[in-house]
Structure 1
Amino acid sequence: MDVVLEWFRENKRDLPWRESTPWGVVVSEFMLQQTPVHRVLPQWHRWMELWPTPADLAGAPLSDALREWGRLGYPRRAKRLHECAQIIVRNHNGIVPPELPVLRSLPGIGEYTASAISAFAFKRGELVLDINIRRLYARCWQGKSAPTAAPNNAERELARQLLPEGDDGTWAAATMELGALICKARTPLCDECPLKNQCLWRAIGYPQEAGIGKSTQQAKWRGSDRQCRGVIMQALRENTDITQSELEKIWSDRSQYEKALASLLDDGLIEQRGKRFSLAN
């Protein structure tokens, strides 16, 4: 698919992890799970400044990692990344392992993340099936407005057939970029797409499948358990520790506060010493 690769060469974003170390790619992939690029960029630079190698992060207290995660959300990712760094140091001499099975065995790394790290850090042709790539494939080659909830065998086989021989990870980066910038979920820029003349979905009139690709309404943030957890975490990022009575004042719904506090303790993200709370160490 030369047209896709040519489009990528001319239009790819200047993302710093593309010219980074394997560890820089690992950090970016953790941060990009459920967080958009524009929010990740400043935090990624900060992390790479503080902890440019797995050994640097492994030697830092977990509380520092949780604090520097900032407002990226889902702070369990920071805890898993910290654990990941410790295992890389302990079991792999501080070097990110290139093998897919070994990558998948690390905390916080599943099938997709392992494939992405292998492709982008080690220049290997892998089946990287993030939502942007899957949407592009569904539209262009299957004539569907959106992919199914999870990749199926037919989709994986299609992806294998499309993967160029001798690929060095560029195909995954190119199709991901094309899906993110052009073949967008809600407002695709079809006239700017290098695949517009071979896109099956475009050729058959952009049909919308019932029950597939319908964007479900995002759960509200304001007043949610997630917001409550986030408020507690932010208060603890801004203070070395906080008394129980001080912490109780930051959220009006006592029942929801207690539930959020208990879940943060269970997740190992915060610690309690007597009547004082702090980020986990």
Structure 2
Amino acid sequence: MMSGPNAIRAFQKSLLAAAPQLHRALPWSSVSDPWAILVSEVMLQQTQVARVIPAWLNFLDLFPTPQVCAAAPLADILRAWQGMGFARRARNLQLAAQVIVNDFDGVVPSTPAALRSLPGVGAYTAHAVASFAFRQPVAVLDTNVGRVVARAIANETLTAKRAQEVATELLGTTDSAQWNQLMLDLGAQFCRATPLCETCPVASACAWRRAGGPDPAVRSGGVSTPQTRFAGSLRQQRGMVLRSLGATPMSRTMLEQQAGIDPVRLPEVLDGLVSDGLVERRKYSYYLPGD
């Protein structure tokens, strides 16, 4: 059952009081540059924070503005993305930079609606950039926040639409960037898929903790399902091929001889990478676009 106004206020007060305990020293939290924040949010879509931090710092050294990113060879973007996985995000980020340059005079747009017009930018990323870069009063909803609203506030499974509404209702008059970061920090550190209720600093204000019962977050809106196993996956094979081509163009025969690449799956991998615009075929060799 959804928490009432008094319980919601108690949760808000408890979460704000827990800010020092929840704080994470994330490098993008101390910047105001919208481009740097957009890059961080795209990287964080499907990659853990620990892997994003060095990649984000390196990427911004190489591509500090949308203009630089938009004009760079895609091959250079993909090399900077190595180790992050889901390389389509890198291509979409460059496409987004090109839209920013061509349609927004080189300035990252500030509203969720305008941000969603950028390739690879969905509702969460649009809200995150609008909040963290422009202090727009919008709530973010990712898998971390989805677990928090389903457990601490609703104690019931929510649709994605309702989860977003609840997250928005929680904002109140609090600075949106501060509040959204606290919600993300709580979900990432305590309200995990396997929650750490015993040590959670807001457990006393959690509706699910008080009432008990089945975990309402398991199938709730905004809460993603675990990724499939990486070892032996098509994602792993794609990464190996991109890494090999990042060193030098290769023929299919040469790629078959690279450590870890499965010759049986290679045709499927190459066809997918070419279809996604991440690899080009010229005569008998494969290249990263722009090489």
TM-score (norm 2): 0.87
Mapping for residues 177-216 of structure 1, pairs under 5 Å = 177-186=185-194, 188-208=195-215, 212=219
Query: In the alignment, what sits opposite 2:288?
Result: 279
- The answer on whether the counterparts of 2:22 and 2:186 sit within 8 Å (CA) in structure 1 is no
Q: 1:128 to 1:273 in 2, by over 3 A?
A: same
Of 179, 184, 208, the match for 1:176: 184
Pairing of 1:224-263 with structure 2 (within 5 A): 224-239=233-248, 241-250=249-258, 253-263=262-272
Aligned-partner residue type, residue 210 of structure 2: A
Structure 1, residues 208-232: CA drift from partner, whole Å, max 9, x if none? 4697379967423232222221111
Distance between the aligned counterparts of 2:140 and 2:224, measured in 1? 22
Task: State how far apart, in whole Å, the 1-side matches of 2:53 and 2:85 are.
Answer: 14
Quick check: 1:8–1:177 contact (8 Å CA) kept in 2? no
Change (3 A) 1:13 1:253: closer
Counterpart of 2:203 in 1: which secondary structure?
coil
What is the aligned-residue identity percentage? Answer: 39
Question: 2:274 pairs with 238, 258, 265, which one?
Answer: 265
| Residue aligning to 1:36 | 48
Equivalent residue number for residue 12 of structure 1: 23
The alpha-carbon deviation at position 127 of structure 1 amounts to 2.2
The CA deviation at 1:190 is 2.0
Range that drifts further, 102-111 or 208-217: 208-217
Q: Separation in 2 of the partners of 1:104 and 1:142?
A: 28
Unaligned runs of 5+ in 1: none
Cα distance between partner residues in 1 of 2:224 and 2:171: 28
Segment drifting more, 216-225 vs 158-167: 216-225
Q: Is the 8 A contact 1:164 1:171 kept in 2?
A: no
Residue aligning to 2:7: none
Give the counterpart letter for 2:14 in structure 1: V
1:116/1:211 Cα in 2 relative to 1: closer, same or farther (>3 Å)? closer
CA distance in 1, matches of 2:39, 2:184: 18
Runs in 1 of length 4+ with deviation above 6 angstroms? 213-217
Structure 2: stretches of 5+ with no match in the other structure? 1-11
Moved more, 26-35 or 157-166: 157-166
User: In structure 2, the residue corresponding to 1:272 is in which secondary structure?
Assistant: strand
Distance 1:53 1:252 in 2: 35
Q: Within 5 Å, give how 1:77-88 maps onto structure 2.
A: 77-88=89-100
Shift of residue 59 of structure 1? 1.9
Match of 2:71 in 1: 59
Does the Cα contact within 8 Å between 2:111 and 2:136 map onto a contact in 1? no
What do residues 109-142 of structure 1 show as CA deviations (whole Å, max 9, x unaligned)?
Answer: 0111101110111112212111111101111112
Residue of structure 2 in register with 1:105 after alignment: 117
Query: Per-residue displacement from partner, 1:128-173 (whole Å, max 9, x unpaired)?
Result: 11111110111111224xx55x6133x2332232112253321111
Deviates more, 1:14-23 or 1:206-215: 206-215
| 1-structure distance, mates of 2:175, 2:143 | 20
Single out whichever of 58-67 and 1-10 deviates more from structure 2: 1-10
The reply to whether residue 73 of structure 1 matches residue 81 of structure 2 is: no
Task: Tell me how far apart the structure 2 counterparts of residues 97 and 216 of structure 1 sit (CA, whole Å).
Answer: 31
Aligned length: 275
- C-alpha root-mean-square deviation of aligned residues, in Å? 2.2
1:256 deviates by 1.4
